[in-house]
Amino acid sequence: MKILHIANFGYRKSGATYYNTDRKISAGLTLNGHFVYDFSFRDMAKLGTIFKTKKMGQTWANKEVLKLVDNIKPELILIGHSDLLSLHTLKTVKQKYPLTKIAFWYVDRINDSNRVQYIKEFSPYLDATFCTTAGQLLMQFKQPNNAVSYMPNICGDNVEVLRSFEQTDFSIDLLFCGIVYKEPVREAFLKSVKQQLADKAINFQIFGSFGQEAIYGADYYTVLAKSQMGLSYSRSNDMPLYASDRIVQLTGNGLLTFSPRIEGFEQLYKHDEIVYFDDANDLIDKVTFYKNNPQTAAKIAQQGHRRTHQSYNAKRVTRFMLELIYRKPFSEAYEWQHEVYV
């Protein structure tokens, strides 16, 4: 079928975020045999005005969406984030093409009132909503017409291509990439861990925070390739099943990955696939242990890599999404299907 995928593909970033979820979803849909037309809403909104600001160009971009729908007549419109898409546009599509399905996906935290509000406003026009957060936070978007479901972070088999567990020579012992801004708890945690690991002669590199520039694109992959272990530590670690897409970027590239204990997360990754920690001291002890036991570390990293590529690849996850959107029986048992609310 024909699918119009409205998301934020970052055309103006010159490929710096080529490994983001937007492109993986489009790739997965294509692998499942569908035609996918990508529309990068924020980029097009900026192009729609001489001032190159997305706020001023959003009216033009919304009109472009309606033109695309008329020209392509997609069976499905899939929306990723795209908070500048107007309710008028959604309503117009539903009125003009009542058989066209509309679904929405979101991979950031949903514990922020501003984010929650616009998703709730979209809900009456949606057939399904997918979020990387589960539980009550997810269920608030449920409506009679709108099925809601957890979705795992997505791996691209042709994107997450490294196999770090096969290496033995690393210049970085532990890697964390992320921008820490006005987050005193996360900042204190990372600083403490870095100092204590340095005292043990363990090289913990942080990019994007504490004066170190963020790295993107091929530079990011160069650093991943030099790293034995990676830290998945999100802005919020207390929401059911929520982790940032860092989790698949690390496990999917074969790094031994450390994660705080997240409610329900062991249903996605078992103890022999990633390493869970309770607090900073526990993390330091476990990093030290696996630094000194590289064969054990490599075995867990390999199993985490296998789990990510087998269970959370783009083709499988997007097939699940389509099955729910069209209310079809699931073709297999998905690890997260207990978090589906129809």
User: Is residue 123 domain-shared with residue 38, that is, in the same domain?
Assistant: yes
Mean per-residue pLDDT for 128-132?
A: 98
Q: What is the CATH number of the domain that holds 221?
A: 3.40.50.2000
Mean per-residue pLDDT for 139-163?
A: 97
User: Is residue 121 domain-shared with residue 188, that is, in the same domain?
Assistant: no
Q: 285 pLDDT exceeds 70?
A: yes
User: Is residue 274 domain-shared with residue 334, that is, in the same domain?
Assistant: no
Q: 51 pLDDT exceeds 70?
A: no
Give me the number of domains the chain comprises.
2
pLDDT for 295 equals 97
Mean per-residue pLDDT for 38-65?
A: 82
The answer to whether the beta carbons of residues 111 and 123 sit under 8 Å apart is no
Q: 111 pLDDT exceeds 70?
A: yes
User: Is residue 145 domain-shared with residue 169, that is, in the same domain?
Assistant: no
Rg (CA), the chain: 21
CA 90 to chain CA centroid, nearest Å: 24
Q: 50 pLDDT band (50/70/90 cuts)?
A: low
User: Is residue 191 domain-shared with residue 135, that is, in the same domain?
Assistant: no
User: Is residue 172 domain-shared with residue 143, that is, in the same domain?
Assistant: no
Q: Look over the chain and give the mean of its residue pLDDT values, rounded to a whole number.
A: 95
Q: What is the CATH number of the domain that holds 82?
A: 3.40.50.2300
205-234 residues labelled b (16+ CB within 10 A) or e (exposed): bbbebeeeeebbeeebbebbbbbbbbbbbb
Least confident of 109-113, 292-296, 310-314: 109-113
User: Is residue 140 domain-shared with residue 185, that is, in the same domain?
Assistant: no
The answer to whether the beta carbons of residues 35 and 325 sit under 8 Å apart is no
User: Is residue 66 domain-shared with residue 87, that is, in the same domain?
Assistant: yes
User: Is residue 133 domain-shared with residue 174, that is, in the same domain?
Assistant: no
Over the stretch 184-229, which tens digit does the pLDDT of each residue have? 899 999 999 999 999 999 999 999 999 899 999 999 999 999 999 9
pLDDT for 300 equals 98
In a domain, 159, yes or no: no
Over the stretch 27-42, which tens digit does the pLDDT of each residue have? 999 999 999 999 999 8
**How far is the CA of 47 from the CAs of 41, 53, 55, 90, 107, in angstroms?**
10, 8, 11, 21, 25
pLDDT for 47 equals 81
Beta strands in the chain (DSSP E): 2-7, 35-40, 76-80, 101-106, 128-131, 147-150, 172-177, 204-207, 227-231, 256-260, 275-277, 340-341
User: Is residue 269 domain-shared with residue 334, that is, in the same domain?
Assistant: no
User: Is residue 324 domain-shared with residue 306, that is, in the same domain?
Assistant: no
Residues 6+ apart with CB under 8 A from 143: 123, 124, 126
Pairing mode, strands 172-177 and 227-231: parallel
The answer to whether the beta carbons of residues 257 and 304 sit under 8 Å apart is yes
pLDDT for 34 equals 98
User: Is residue 294 domain-shared with residue 330, that is, in the same domain?
Assistant: no
Per the structure, the complete domain to which residue 12 belongs is given by: 2-154+313-341
pLDDT for 114 equals 79
In a domain, 117, yes or no: yes
Q: Which two tokens stand for residue 115?
A: 């984010």
pTM over 0.85: yes
**How far is the CA of 98 from the CAs of 74, 93, 118, 190, 262, in angstroms?**
12, 7, 22, 50, 40
pLDDT for 56 equals 73
